[in-house]
Protein backbone atom coordinates (compact mmCIF):
# COMPACT_ATOMS: atom_id res chain seq x y z
CA UNK A 1 0.00 0.00 0.00
CA UNK A 2 2.90 2.30 0.80
CA UNK A 3 4.48 1.70 -2.65
CA UNK A 4 1.19 2.41 -4.26
CA UNK A 5 0.80 5.60 -2.25
CA UNK A 6 4.27 6.82 -3.27
CA UNK A 7 3.51 6.13 -6.97
CA UNK A 8 0.14 7.85 -6.72
CA UNK A 9 1.70 10.82 -4.97
CA UNK A 10 4.48 10.99 -7.60
CA UNK A 11 1.95 10.95 -10.49
CA UNK A 12 -0.18 13.59 -8.79
CA UNK A 13 2.87 15.81 -8.21
CA UNK A 14 4.00 15.44 -11.84
CA UNK A 15 0.49 16.23 -13.06
CA UNK A 16 0.32 19.26 -10.80
CA UNK A 17 3.74 20.50 -11.96
CA UNK A 18 2.82 19.91 -15.60
CA UNK A 19 -0.55 21.58 -15.16
CA UNK A 20 0.96 24.56 -13.37
CA UNK A 21 3.71 24.83 -16.00
CA UNK A 22 1.20 24.94 -18.85
CA UNK A 23 -1.07 27.31 -17.02
CA UNK A 24 1.76 29.77 -16.44
CA UNK A 25 3.20 29.59 -19.98
CA UNK A 26 -0.02 29.83 -22.01
CA UNK A 27 -1.46 32.96 -20.47
CA UNK A 28 1.86 34.80 -20.95
CA UNK A 29 1.87 33.96 -24.67
CA UNK A 30 -1.85 34.67 -24.92
CA UNK A 31 -1.41 38.10 -23.32
CA UNK A 32 1.47 39.01 -25.66
CA UNK A 33 -0.39 37.59 -28.65
CA UNK A 34 -3.60 39.35 -27.65
CA UNK A 35 -1.85 42.71 -27.25
CA UNK A 36 -0.36 42.30 -30.75
CA UNK A 37 -3.75 41.33 -32.16
CA UNK A 38 -5.41 44.33 -30.51
CA UNK A 39 -2.73 46.69 -31.86
CA UNK A 40 -3.11 45.17 -35.33
CA UNK A 41 -6.90 45.42 -35.19
CA UNK A 42 -6.70 49.08 -34.09
CA UNK A 43 -4.27 49.83 -36.93
CA UNK A 44 -6.59 48.11 -39.43
CA UNK A 45 -9.57 50.09 -38.10
CA UNK A 46 -7.60 53.34 -38.40
CA UNK A 47 -6.52 52.42 -41.94
CA UNK A 48 -10.13 51.58 -42.87
CA UNK A 49 -11.27 54.94 -41.47
CA UNK A 50 -8.74 56.83 -43.62
CA UNK A 51 -9.59 54.75 -46.68
CA UNK A 52 -13.30 55.48 -46.17
CA UNK A 53 -12.61 59.21 -45.83
CA UNK A 54 -10.46 59.18 -48.98
CA UNK A 55 -13.20 57.38 -50.92
CA UNK A 56 -15.83 59.82 -49.64
CA UNK A 57 -13.66 62.74 -50.78
CA UNK A 58 -13.22 61.16 -54.22
CA UNK A 59 -16.98 60.66 -54.56
CA UNK A 60 -17.66 64.21 -53.35
CA UNK A 61 -15.21 65.61 -55.93
CA UNK A 62 -16.73 63.48 -58.69
CA UNK A 63 -20.25 64.68 -57.82
CA UNK A 64 -19.08 68.32 -57.77
CA UNK A 65 -17.45 67.94 -61.20
CA UNK A 66 -20.51 66.21 -62.64
CA UNK A 67 -22.83 68.84 -61.18
CA UNK A 68 -20.74 71.73 -62.51
CA UNK A 69 -20.60 70.00 -65.90
CA UNK A 70 -24.39 69.69 -65.84
CA UNK A 71 -24.78 73.41 -65.04
CA UNK A 72 -22.44 74.31 -67.89
CA UNK A 73 -24.30 72.05 -70.32
CA UNK A 74 -27.60 73.56 -69.18
CA UNK A 75 -26.32 77.11 -69.76
CA UNK A 76 -24.96 76.19 -73.19
CA UNK A 77 -28.25 74.55 -74.09
CA UNK A 78 -30.17 77.70 -73.11
CA UNK A 79 -27.85 79.79 -75.29
CA UNK A 80 -28.19 77.39 -78.23
CA UNK A 81 -31.96 77.33 -77.73
CA UNK A 82 -32.19 81.12 -77.87
CA UNK A 83 -29.92 81.16 -80.92
CA UNK A 84 -32.09 78.53 -82.61
CA UNK A 85 -35.22 80.57 -81.88
CA UNK A 86 -33.70 83.66 -83.49
CA UNK A 87 -32.36 81.67 -86.45
CA UNK A 88 -35.75 80.04 -87.04
CA UNK A 89 -37.54 83.41 -87.07
CA UNK A 90 -34.85 84.84 -89.34
CA UNK A 91 -35.07 81.85 -91.68
CA UNK A 92 -38.85 82.19 -91.94
CA UNK A 93 -38.46 85.86 -92.95
CA UNK A 94 -35.69 85.04 -95.46
CA UNK A 95 -37.77 82.20 -96.90
CA UNK A 96 -40.69 84.60 -97.48
CA UNK A 97 -38.35 87.21 -99.00
CA UNK A 98 -36.83 84.57 -101.28
CA UNK A 99 -40.28 83.43 -102.48
CA UNK A 100 -41.19 87.09 -103.09
CA UNK A 101 -37.97 87.49 -105.13
CA UNK A 102 -36.45 90.06 -102.77
CA UNK A 103 -33.20 88.15 -101.99
CA UNK A 104 -31.01 86.11 -104.35
CA UNK A 105 -30.59 82.30 -104.20
CA UNK A 106 -27.03 82.54 -102.85
CA UNK A 107 -28.17 84.54 -99.84
CA UNK A 108 -31.04 82.12 -99.25
CA UNK A 109 -28.69 79.10 -99.41
CA UNK A 110 -26.19 80.80 -97.06
CA UNK A 111 -28.87 81.57 -94.47
CA UNK A 112 -30.41 78.11 -94.88
CA UNK A 113 -27.01 76.51 -94.24
CA UNK A 114 -26.44 78.73 -91.19
CA UNK A 115 -29.86 77.78 -89.80
CA UNK A 116 -29.11 74.08 -90.29
CA UNK A 117 -25.76 74.47 -88.49
CA UNK A 118 -27.50 76.26 -85.59
CA UNK A 119 -30.08 73.44 -85.39
CA UNK A 120 -27.27 70.87 -85.31
CA UNK A 121 -25.45 72.79 -82.57
CA UNK A 122 -28.68 72.93 -80.55
CA UNK A 123 -29.21 69.16 -80.91
CA UNK A 124 -25.61 68.51 -79.85
CA UNK A 125 -26.02 70.79 -76.82
CA UNK A 126 -29.25 68.99 -75.95
CA UNK A 127 -27.50 65.61 -76.22
CA UNK A 128 -24.60 66.84 -74.04
CA UNK A 129 -27.01 68.18 -71.41
CA UNK A 130 -29.08 64.98 -71.26
CA UNK A 131 -25.92 62.85 -71.04
CA UNK A 132 -24.47 65.01 -68.23
CA UNK A 133 -27.80 64.83 -66.39
CA UNK A 134 -28.01 61.04 -66.64
CA UNK A 135 -24.39 60.61 -65.52
CA UNK A 136 -24.97 62.76 -62.43
CA UNK A 137 -28.27 60.99 -61.64
CA UNK A 138 -26.51 57.62 -61.82
CA UNK A 139 -23.87 58.73 -59.32
CA UNK A 140 -26.18 60.44 -56.83
CA UNK A 141 -28.95 57.86 -57.12
CA UNK A 142 -31.97 60.07 -57.84
CA UNK A 143 -33.58 61.89 -60.77
CA UNK A 144 -33.49 65.66 -61.26
CA UNK A 145 -36.34 67.71 -62.63
CA UNK A 146 -35.58 68.94 -66.12
CA UNK A 147 -36.10 72.73 -66.15
CA UNK A 148 -34.66 73.30 -69.64
CA UNK A 149 -36.28 70.60 -71.71
CA UNK A 150 -40.07 70.63 -71.56
CA UNK A 151 -40.44 67.42 -73.58
CA UNK A 152 -38.52 65.25 -71.06
The 10 Å Cβ neighbour count of residue 73 is 20
- pLDDT of amino acid 97: 95
- pLDDT of amino acid 34: 79
The pLDDT profile of the chain, 152 residues, written as one tens digit per residue, is 555 555 555 555 555 555 555 445 556 666 678 788 888 989 899 999 999 999 999 999 999 999 999 999 999 999 999 999 999 999 999 999 999 999 999 999 999 999 999 999 999 999 999 999 999 999 999 898 865 454 43
Q: How far is the first Cα of the chain from the last one, in angstroms, to the nearest whole number?
A: 104
Amino acid sequence: SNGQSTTLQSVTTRQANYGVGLYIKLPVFDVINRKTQIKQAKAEMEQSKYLKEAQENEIRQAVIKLYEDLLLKQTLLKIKSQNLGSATVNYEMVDKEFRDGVIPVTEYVRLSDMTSRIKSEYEMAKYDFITAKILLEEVVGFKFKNPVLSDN
